[in-house]
Amino acid sequence: MKNFKILFLFTLIFCVCIVSGCGTFNQAYYDDSFASLMNSAKNNLNAGEYPQAIILSRSLLDAEPENAEARAIIEKALKKRPELSTLFKKGWLGS
């Protein structure tokens, strides 16, 4: 009976956490994070840090595949350093 009470208590706490919204999606946090990563990618591009700019932009494209800004950053970086196109060959990289 004691184990049942403990199990019931943990189940109740779990349900309260789920209902209260512990795991809900917050669009504002997503937008802020996306904008922050986009700014970092732009800064890396402007600083000549092309691999970092490409990696950040690729992660942005994973989140939003149709994002024109991220695609433009990648295109500009690849014009400067075409050999970095290997960063898009995920099979070669093992990911």
Q: Which amino acid is at 15?
A: C
Q: Residue 44 is inside which H or E element, if any?
A: helix 27-46
The answer to whether the predicted template modeling score (pTM) of the entire model surpasses 0.75 is no
Residue 20 confidence class, pLDDT cut points 50, 70, 90: low
- Residue among 11, 18, 15, 16 at smallest CA distance from 3: 11
What the block records as the tokens of 71 is 């695609």
pLDDT of residue 90: 61
Task: Inform me whether the pLDDT recorded for 94 exceeds 60.
Answer: no
What the block records as the tokens of 43 is 């800064």
Question: pLDDT per residue over 40-91, tens digit each?
Answer: 999 999 999 999 999 999 999 999 999 999 999 999 999 999 998 887 766 6
Task: Catalogue the long-range contacts made by 25-34 (C-beta closer than 8 Å, 24 or more residues apart).
Answer: 34/60, 34/63, 34/64
Query: What mean pLDDT is predicted for residues 1-15?
Result: 62
